Amino acid sequence: MTKLNKSKALIAMGLAVSSFALASVAGAEGHGAAPLVINGDIEIVTNTAAPAHMENISTIQSGWEFRTPDTQDLQRDDFDNPGMLGVDDARETWATVEGSEGKSCASCHGEPETLAGVKAVYPKWNEDAGEVRTIEMQINACRTENMGAEAYGYSDGAMTDMSALISSVSRGLPVNVAIDGPAQATWEQGKELYYTRTGQLELSCANCHEDNYDNLIRADHLSQGQINGFPVYRLNNAKLNSVHDRFKGCVRDTRAETYKPGSPEFVALELYVASRGNGLSVEGPSVRN
Amino acid sequence: MASGVRPRVKVPKSASAGETITLKTLISHPMESGQRKDSSGNVIPRSIINRFTCEFNGEMVIDVTLEPAISTNPYFEFDATVPAAGDFKFTWYDDDGSVYEDTQSISV
């Protein structure tokens, strides 16, 4: 990756003129030299052996490894991580009573920390509903069925904040999404979508994120498309972004009509892509560009 | 009118006299530049934090003018020398007249 240092320096300069103008320049430790430890406490696995079902990649890497040292450092401390603003907002929502049943999230679940480990296994088969559910679908099921409150829009700010909160309490735990049993059919559908070329550019997910990761796409490094760090705070749009928003952006970039966030296609794709990260640590909310 | 504005400050709890410490501040704010238009073509009025100050026991440590090009959630990190125990007072001034304050004590 050293051959690409020059372009990274340019990206870093771009960053320096935004809100970070007064921030001290991050230490000069090289790309990936210092492992990611959040708050000096939570150790994050950012690369490991690929799960058995992956045929073309032997080592899986978190998107964190493809970012510049400046961006990487934003994730080392919760104070520096702008994604934690959304988590703080969601903590307030967590304790707020909404809906006809007079309940808040806290009424049933207690502290958000009781949901540690949940994010690591989602998307997950839900026996009662007979479908694979994402965290967002589960949040809305809780809101409509248990709280009698209105469902959030799938990619609403409040929804993404809440999924960031649920993700944040699982940070450091290994992603371990089940792909067998009842979830298998959905997983197969997701895999099919992953390798299907779409749009005028006729690109599949694999063309970029499997065949060309770490190469430049314009001025940016292609990652492996791992979603262990979602929701992601993007410096690009200065907000938390959900997985399905990212999928939509990617599919749009192939110049195709996209599926909708929350659609069965994206749920299947999320299950498959999540399973490609089995073994990496839950990292969300992460910071990317 | 900006909503959901929340200042956050990180100051070490204690330091030795004369030591230089690092202060970090972040305020959640949309920093609407006044250059953008909404979906019906009307200009969205400017709404930014236009000034940020930090005082230590009444003495000015840093006084910053912010301009519309500063992006969402302005973050400042700077160093200060602590001569004695006291309070750091942080103040953000909003275009709409709101003033957000936070105070953190430090012992030596």
pLDDT in tens, chain A (289 residues): 444 444 444 444 443 334 433 333 333 334 446 889 988 889 999 999 999 999 899 999 999 999 998 899 899 988 889 899 999 999 999 999 998 999 999 999 999 999 999 999 999 999 999 999 999 999 999 999 999 999 999 999 999 999 999 999 999 999 999 999 999 999 999 999 999 999 999 999 999 999 999 999 888 899 999 999 999 999 888 889 999 999 999 999 999 999 999 999 999 999 999 999 999 999 989 999 8
- Rg of chain A in Å (alpha carbons): 19
Q: Which of A19, A21, A23 sits opposite B73 (nearest CB)?
A: A19
- Contacting B with CB below 8 Å, chain A residues are 18-24, 79-80, 82, 85, 88-89, 238-239
Q: State the pLDDT at residue A7.
A: 45
Distance set, CA A61 to CA A97, B8, B66 (Å): 40, 32, 38
Question: In this complex, is the C-beta atom of B4 within 8 Å of any C-beta atom belonging to chain A?
Answer: yes
Region of B31 on the Ramachandran plot (φ > 0 left; ψ -120 to 50 alpha; else beta): left
Question: In this complex, is the C-beta atom of B91 within 8 Å of any C-beta atom belonging to chain A?
Answer: no
Q: Which of B6, B71, B76 sits opposite A22 (nearest CB)?
A: B76
Q: Which of A20, A88, A239 sits opposite B75 (nearest CB)?
A: A20
pLDDT averaged over every residue in chain B: 89
- Residues in chain B with CB shorter than 8 Å from the CB of A80 are 24, 75
A31 labeled part of a ligand binding site: no
Q: State the pLDDT at residue A13.
A: 41
Q: State the pLDDT at residue B6.
A: 85
The beta-carbon contacts of A207-215 under 8 Å, at least 24 apart in sequence, are A208/A250, A210/A56, A210/A57, A213/A61, A213/A66, A214/A1, A214/A66
Residue B16 pLDDT more than 80?
Answer: yes
Note whether A18 contacts B71, CB cutoff 8 Å.
yes
Domains delineated in chain B: 6-106 (2.60.40.10)
Note whether B71 contacts A19, CB cutoff 8 Å.
yes
Give the contacts of A127 (CB within 8 A, at least 6 positions apart): A182
- Indicate if A261 belongs to the active site: no
Region of B105 on the Ramachandran plot (φ > 0 left; ψ -120 to 50 alpha; else beta): beta
- Rg of chain B in Å (alpha carbons): 16
**ipTM score assigned to the predicted complex:** 0.76
Q: State the pLDDT at residue A19.
A: 40
Q: What is the dihedral of CA A99, A100, A102, A104, to 10 degrees?
A: -30
Interface mutation vs chain B, best among A22, A80, A84, A91, most B CBs within 10 Å: A22
Give the contacts of A196 (CB within 8 A, at least 6 positions apart): A204
Q: What is the dihedral of CA A26, A31, A32, A37, to 10 degrees?
A: 10
Question: In this complex, is the C-beta atom of B108 within 8 Å of any C-beta atom belonging to chain A?
Answer: no
CB-CB contact of A171 with A281 (8 Å): yes
Q: State the pLDDT at residue A21.
A: 36
d(CA A133, CA A185): 13
Question: In this complex, is the C-beta atom of B77 within 8 Å of any C-beta atom belonging to chain A?
Answer: yes
Position B96, amino acid:
D
At residue B18 the predicted structure's pLDDT band, cuts being 50, 70 and 90, is confident
Residue B105 pLDDT more than 80?
Answer: yes
Q: State the pLDDT at residue A281.
A: 94
Position A10, amino acid:
L
Average pLDDT estimate for B53-69: 92
Note whether B75 contacts A85, CB cutoff 8 Å.
no
Query: Tokens representing A283?
Result: 């990292």
Average pLDDT estimate for B21-36: 90
Q: Phi and psi dihedrals of B25, rounded to 5?
A: -135, 145
Interface mutation vs chain A, best among B20, B67, B72, most A CBs within 10 Å: B72
Note whether B77 contacts A24, CB cutoff 8 Å.
yes
Q: How far is CA A260 from the centre of its chain?
A: 17
Question: In this complex, is the C-beta atom of B75 within 8 Å of any C-beta atom belonging to chain A?
Answer: yes
Q: Is the peptide bond before A174 cis (omega within 30 degrees of 0)?
A: no
A218 labeled part of a ligand binding site: no
Domains delineated in chain A: 56-287 (1.10.760.10)
CA-nearest of B53, B51, B59 to B87 is B59
Distance from CA of A268 to the nearest CA of B (A): 33
Task: For residue B100, give the 3-state DSSP assignment.
Answer: strand
A105 labeled part of a ligand binding site: yes
Q: State the pLDDT at residue A33.
A: 63
Catalytic residue among A60, A135, A232, A250: A250
A255 labeled part of a ligand binding site: no
Distance set, CA A96 to CA A111, A141, A147, A275, B80 (Å): 13, 17, 11, 33, 39
- The residue whose two tokens read 């006084």 is B63
